[in-house]
Homo-oligomer: A and B are copies of this chain.
Amino acid sequence: MTDFLLDPRLAADSAFIADGPLSQVRLMDDTRFPWLLLVPRVTGASEWLELDGAQQRLLLAEVNRAGNLVRALPGVEKLNIGALGNIVRQLHVHLVGRHAGDAAWPGPVWGSGTAQRHAPEALATQVEFWRSRLQ
């Protein structure tokens, strides 16, 4: 896994938080939603189902850990979990905290409107917030 390379579109749209047992945990740079990405460090994987059993269990544990943190945020009413990959084929799992009236409610966040980027300082603060909870 030493030759793991992050897709440049994922790199551009999100910020590194921490490395979990299997995956990079990243923050989507969009102030509209609390939105984490899990990107397994498995070269060439594009489907969850391509992971072997041990990797799938690691990913599920990471979904539980990070997803429960998203669910615990004030105001979050529903967790959306998605693995789509229609545009970026590198396997990545979305964990998005949703609430009635948010910018895409009740539709999915993917393809909905335009990302509202954080200011640089706010992004750094958010990354630090998540890093302190995940490490």
Contacts and interface: CB of A to CB of B under 8 A. Distances in A.
A130 interface: no
What is the count of identical protomers in the complex?
A: 2
Contacts of A46: 78
Categorize the interface residue count of chain A: 20 to 34
A80 B80 contact: no
Given A47-B78, A80-B85, 8 more contacts: A47-B79, A48-B67, A48-B81, A56-B60, A78-B84, A78-B89, A81-B83, A108-B111
Contact of A86 (B48, B63, B80): B80
Where chain A touches its partner, the secondary structure class is: mixed
Contacts of A98: 86
A108 B106 contact: no
- Residue from the set A57, A84, A85 with the largest chain B CB neighbour count within 10 Å: A84
B84 A108 contact: yes
Contacts of A89: 78
Interface in A63-90: 63-64, 67-68, 71, 78-87, 89
A67 B67 CA distance: 22
A84 B82 contact: yes
